DNA sequence: CCAAAAGTGTTTTCGTTACACCCATGC
DNA sequence: GCATGGGTGTAACGAAAACACTTTTGG
């Protein structure tokens, strides 16, 4: 915040363009889940300083948009997705983090269901990357991703956000696998089921998996109604 | 982050001042504890739009400083304090949040021991305010404070940061009172002592309170060594 | 009938809560 | 001796962890 106790500073702020020579960007950590693995959506970095590296999806904040709006816009532009889960991680503001000048970036993360929008990906040079097998990324994006994953691991234990990674109908095995992929550890199946049913997060659809080569599991849906009420 | 997939945007970013017409500020929620109450250090707001209101301590981010550095600088300038606990809360970026123009602000919070620097306060128009009795503040500072307190309540249960609010030597009653002031609820004395001793956070100084009108309690210190090792 | 995963309960362990009495000091 | 807070232990409860066998389906 502008130093309000100092009228000179306020005046300077209003008149002097020097105070504005800092760029503000938004970077979105867009996470998806497929075949037992957590994935992140990246774009090839076109800056010569980072040739051959990938980066998170980001853009400059526009003068007339809130930072939350900006993150939605970026996600919409890149994936065509509306109405998704998106949450701020934190802001990264090292002086040298962008070779093109002083740019601080606000990190956001989003959890999306990969299958819902495979089509849109061909519009951009975007690819899903396995989170566990990522090498060096452009800028400080490894750090942003690591910070996001830390936050995500605690958040999924508190809030029912993980359902954003799954299709509308899913089996308990799929749900458990997503937890395991994010937490990076195996969970006991019986204890998991017990705990999940205690939450009242699920609607029993009384449907079953098809096209599986074993006994089909029951399908569930996330009880969205209940969480809109809160 | 600058949209690296789009060379035009990069070029525009490097050339066009329009991308820089956003101010970035830092606001510090400086919290202290005294006589059983949690307090926040505020400054009188000199903007005419917020006449008579108080605001958090903030300043504009300088071109050559990291955002973490900036928060340290602000704290140092205002309180004379060095080497304190300071942590990012999150960034607030509504379009209209600052009447002087577009300014996004990164919130930080600090926990300090009020007694250590009473002297410096006279240099500024600063006052400690009871967190529980705060009315409207300037800008979106109520929101920043609320967000900070939420974060703080979970953080003190995980990490030994609360000791920053206390003098070097303190009794268990004082420590418990700080927890209670932050959490806003009473704790059971026996359970609290049991739990605190299990953490290995404390050094038993084998000293006792003086100048109390009742049986003096034992004094403890936070085991800083142990946490520097980690 | 074989492979593969679904589905299901009980016991143990551990951390959290609730709770009451005597003790040391200042006045 | 009285008021004030310091210091202490145990029982009950509930959440989490450990753990194995039967069932259903496809092939």
Q: Please write the tens of the pLDDT for every residue from A40-65.
A: 999 999 899 999 999 999 999 999 99
Name the residue with higher pLDDT: A20 or A139: A139
Q: Is residue A33 within 8 Å of A181, Cβ to Cβ?
A: yes
Tell me what the pLDDT averaged over chain B comes to.
89
Tell me what the pLDDT averaged over chain A comes to.
90
Tokens of A73: 């816009």
Q: What is the C-alpha separation between B128 and B138, in angstroms, rounded?
A: 16
Query: Taking CB atoms and an 8 Å cut-off, how many pairs form between chains A and B?
Result: 182
Q: Residue range A140-145: average pLDDT?
A: 98
Least confident segment among A129-138, A215-224, B117-126 = B117-126
Contact A5 B58 (CB under 8 A): no
Q: Give residue A15's pLDDT.
A: 47
Tokens of B151: 């974060």
Could you count the other beta carbons within 10 Å of the beta carbon of residue B95?
A: 15
Residues 80-119 of A with CB under 8 A from B: 88, 90-95, 98, 100-106
CA separation, residue A105 to residues A74, A88, A226, B93 (Å): 13, 11, 34, 12
Residue of A nearest to B94 (CA): A66
Nearest to A140 by CA among A101, A97, A102, A106: A97
Q: Give residue A175's pLDDT.
A: 98
Q: Residue range B158-169: average pLDDT?
A: 96
Contact B13 A4 (CB under 8 A): no
Tokens of B30: 């400086």
Percentages helix, strand, coil for chain A (3-state, rounded to 5) are 40, 30, 30
Using the structure block, give the residue that is written with the tokens 């990906």.
A121
Q: Give residue A146's pLDDT.
A: 98
Asked if the model's pLDDT at residue B121 lies above 70, the reply is: no
Q: What is the C-alpha separation between B107 and B13, in angstroms, rounded?
A: 26
Contact B91 A94 (CB under 8 A): no
Q: What percent of chain B has pLDDT over 90?
A: 78
Residue B211 near chain A (CB below 8 Å): no
Interval B53-75: pLDDT, tens: 999 999 999 999 999 999 999 99
What global pTM score does this model have?
Answer: 0.91
pLDDT band for position A226 (cuts 50, 70, 90): confident
Asked if the model's pLDDT at residue B14 lies above 70, the reply is: no
pLDDT band for position B1 (cuts 50, 70, 90): very low
pLDDT band for position B81 (cuts 50, 70, 90): confident
């Amino acid at each position: 915040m502008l130093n309000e106790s100092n009228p000179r500073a306020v005046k300077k702020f209003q008149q002097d363009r020097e105070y504005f020579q800092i760029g503000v960007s938004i970077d979105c950590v867009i996470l998806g889940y497929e075949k037992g693995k957590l994935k992140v959506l990246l774009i090839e970095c076109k800056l010569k300083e980072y040739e051959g590296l990938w980066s998170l999806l980001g853009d400059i904040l526009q003068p007339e948009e809130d930072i939350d709006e900006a993150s939605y816009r970026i996600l919409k532009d890149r994936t065509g997705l509306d109405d998704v889960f998106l949450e701020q991680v934190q802001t990264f503001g090292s002086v040298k983090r962008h070779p093109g000048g002083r740019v601080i970036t606000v990190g956001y993360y989003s959890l999306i269901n990969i299958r819902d929008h495979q089509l849109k990906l061909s519009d951009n040079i975007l690819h899903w990357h396995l989170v566990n097998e990522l090498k060096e990324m452009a800028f400080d994006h490894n750090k942003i991703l690591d910070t996001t994953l830390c936050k995500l691991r605690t958040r999924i234990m508190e809030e029912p956000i993980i359902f954003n990674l799954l299709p509308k109908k899913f089996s308990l095995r799929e749900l458990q696998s997503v937890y395991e992929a994010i937490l990076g550890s195996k969970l006991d199946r019986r204890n998991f089921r017990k705990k999940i049913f205690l939450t009242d997060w699920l609607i029993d659809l009384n449907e079953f998996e098809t096209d599986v080569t074993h006994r089909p599991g029951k399908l569930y849906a996330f009880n969205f109604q209940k969480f809109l009420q809160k």
